[in-house]
Amino acid sequence: VSHPPPPPPQSNLYLPSHIGDGAMEQRERADQLSEAETGMIQDTWGRVYENCEDVGVAILIRFFVNFPSAKQYFSQFQDMEDMEEMERSTQLRKHAQRVMNALNTVVENVHDPDKVASILNLVGKAHAIKHKVEPMYFKILSGVILEILSEDCPESFTPDVQRAWTKLMGLVYWHVTGAYTEAGWVQLSSSAV
């Protein structure tokens, strides 16, 4: 799957603006998905996941090109500037596969909120405690994921599908940042990006 060069960072049209806007005490429960939204997400994901390696790599390359500060957490490719070099990176490909597998597990279990919460709690705690990644990067990555999905499936990424995916990304961010709170992070906003 060939992807056009990434747009400039300001054009992140799909960034869920209602999530992750600051201090912990403002934390509100994310909206739950309806059956119809769940169906739309699983249907779209089925098509995307057929090319999961290419899509995952496209997501990470767009993320790192538009938000190069995110590369600081990846010693294996933090100095890579060239998109082709990133695309060839075994380490980037492995991380892309982990991202896509985590998303796949969330989508496959979207009917089971406890399982989704458990999965995302593990992801959040690993990134908070082990990797010390600023949680805002999850919000930014959500927007990049939505951009790539809409480009990969333009015919099926209708406004309703886009809203469903935006809601799912809001849930992902809500659960991940909850894990950050449990891990002792005091504030979720960042001026690093």
Q: Summarize pLDDT for 64-92 with one digit per residue, the tens.
A: 999 999 999 998 888 888 899 999 999 99
Residue 78 lies inside a defined structural domain of this protein: yes
Say what the pLDDT of residue 96 is: 96
**Averaged pLDDT of the chain:** 85
Q: pLDDT at residue 18 above 50?
A: no
CA–CA dist 34, 57 (Å, integer): 30
DSSP letter at 190 equals: -
Residue 25 lies inside a defined structural domain of this protein: no
Residue 52 lies inside a defined structural domain of this protein: yes
Say what the pLDDT of residue 61 is: 96
Q: Domain span at residue 130?
A: 35-183
Residue 70 lies inside a defined structural domain of this protein: yes
- Distances in Å between the Cα of 20 and the Cα atoms of 23, 50, 167, 176 are 8, 30, 13, 10
User: Any idea what the CATH number is for the domain that residue 144 is in?
Assistant: 1.10.490.10
For residue 22, name the pLDDT band (cuts at 50, 70, 90). very low
Q: pLDDT at residue 5 above 60?
A: no
Residue 28 lies inside a defined structural domain of this protein: no
How many structural domains is the chain composed of? 1
Residue 27 lies inside a defined structural domain of this protein: no
Percentage of residues in the chain with pLDDT exceeding 90? 73
Residue 17 lies inside a defined structural domain of this protein: no
Tell me the pTM: 0.81
Task: Collapse the DSSP code of 187 into the 3-class scheme (helix H, G, I; strand E, B; otherwise coil) and give the result.
Answer: strand
Q: Summarize pLDDT for 28-53 with one digit per residue, the tens.
A: 666 789 999 999 999 999 999 999 99
Q: Summarize pLDDT for 134-182 with one digit per residue, the tens.
A: 999 999 999 999 999 999 989 999 999 999 999 999 999 999 999 999 9
